[in-house]
Structure 1
Amino acid sequence: MSSEEVSPYRRAFRAWVEAYNSWDADRIMACYDESLVHNILPKSLNRPARSKEEYGRYLREEAIPLFKSFKVIVHELFEDGPRISAHASSVAESCTGAPYENEYNLMAHFAPASPDSDVLPKIIQVKEFVDSGYALEFFQDEKARMQERERDKRLKEEAEESGKKGGVVDV
């Protein structure tokens, strides 16, 4: 491979990052093999290893609704055949408008690339190390912001309903 050629694994990794930057679950999930095992680490976070189906459900039902936007920036990348490790960070805006910035070490293992195909290899394993201290604090604070927002919405609806009745009490 000449220095100008980019390996299929590196191209697949780039497509995966671009899919995350689109914040589109279908595009992200298309990067994964059916045999996917996805881990969010360190173990102290007590996050389960997820299959492709489980990770897709997590992405669609939990992660994507939590953020209005999400961008991944790759700072450094190392490739060893079908394995890529990258130091990355993210910049996002939560559904409550709070800024989110995290740091990652992403390890992606790919299915073997077919030498006679332009089809990118799929990811079979992800180990996603996050800044656990930041993540725990952010998600705890975001949950509180969401609860406050829900409480304010409920109070507003109650006030509007009370106003419709004109404040008159039925006897």
Structure 2
Amino acid sequence: MSASTLTQTAQRVVDAYNAWSIDQIMAFRSEDCIQEILPTSMNVPPQNNTQHEAHQRMIAPFFTNFHLVVLEQTVDESAKKVTLWAKATADTVVGPYANEYVIALHMNEAGDRVVLVREFVDSGFAGPFFGKLRGHMMAAAGGKGGPAEH
């Protein structure tokens, strides 16, 4: 495992989200990958792959033109971790999406799979935005369901 491998895996993550493809988003994850949405004040429980895929499939239809831009990247080869400071924009059914993230990608020994995603979101934006999206989804579904903040 090298810094280059870690960087390539991180780029696969960014490319998957920019493609807005659930299959690609899930492809870089290890079998036992966990996704944490932080800060903990967001009250979003950690998600295993099954839960994360279900979440992505639930919200994906409501987003178009999703674009993730990495502003800064730090590679820690000894910890097998890449940290990204990024911004994402998209068009959605409830208005423009413009979130800021710090995403820590913890990799497996080979550096080619992500075993843990710690995704820090702009809670000032994400909380109200996903509340509005949840309301839209519940109205569309006759009052059932809605996404966790992300």
TM class, shorter-chain normalised? Answer: 0.7 to 0.9
CA deviation digits over 1:6-35, x for unaligned, max 9? 610100100110010000000110010001
- Residue 69 of structure 1, aligned match among 62, 65, 71: 65
Aligned to 1:139: 130
Q: Is 1:49 aligned to 2:46, yes or no?
A: yes
TM-fit CA distance, 1:69: 2.7
Aligned to 1:92: 90
SS in 2 for 1:65: helix
For structure 2, list consecutive stretches of 5 or more residues without a partner in the other structure: 143-150
Structure 1 segments (4+ residues) deviating >6 Å: 147-151
Identity of aligned residues (%): 32
CA deviation digits over 1:42-62, x for unaligned, max 9? 10111011111111111112x
Aligned to 1:154: none
Aligned to 2:107: 110
Summarize the Cα distance change of 1:149–1:35 in structure 2 as closer, same or farther, 3 Å threshold: closer
Mapped partners of 1:89, 1:23: distance in 2: 15
Aligned to 1:167: none
Which of 133-142 and 120-129 deviates more?
133-142
SS in 1 for 2:56: helix
Q: Is 1:33 aligned to 2:23, yes or no?
A: no
- Residue 7 of structure 1, aligned match among 4, 7, 13: 4
| Greater gyration radius | 1
Mapped partners of 1:143, 1:29: distance in 2: 23
Summarize the Cα distance change of 1:149–1:58 in structure 2 as closer, same or farther, 3 Å threshold: closer
Higher normalized contact order (CA 8 Å, seq sep 6+, divided by chain length): 2
Mapped partners of 1:64, 1:145: distance in 2: 14
Amino acid at match of 1:138: F
TM value normalised by structure 2:
0.84
Summarize the Cα distance change of 1:112–1:43 in structure 2 as closer, same or farther, 3 Å threshold: same
TM value normalised by structure 1:
0.74
For structure 1, list consecutive stretches of 5 or more residues without a partner in the other structure: 114-119, 152-171
Mapped partners of 1:142, 1:59: distance in 2: 14
Q: How many residues align?
A: 139
Calculate the aligned-residue CA RMSD, in Å: 2.2
Amino acid at match of 2:34: V
Summarize the Cα distance change of 1:9–1:149 in structure 2 as closer, same or farther, 3 Å threshold: same
Mapped partners of 2:136, 2:116: distance in 1: 33
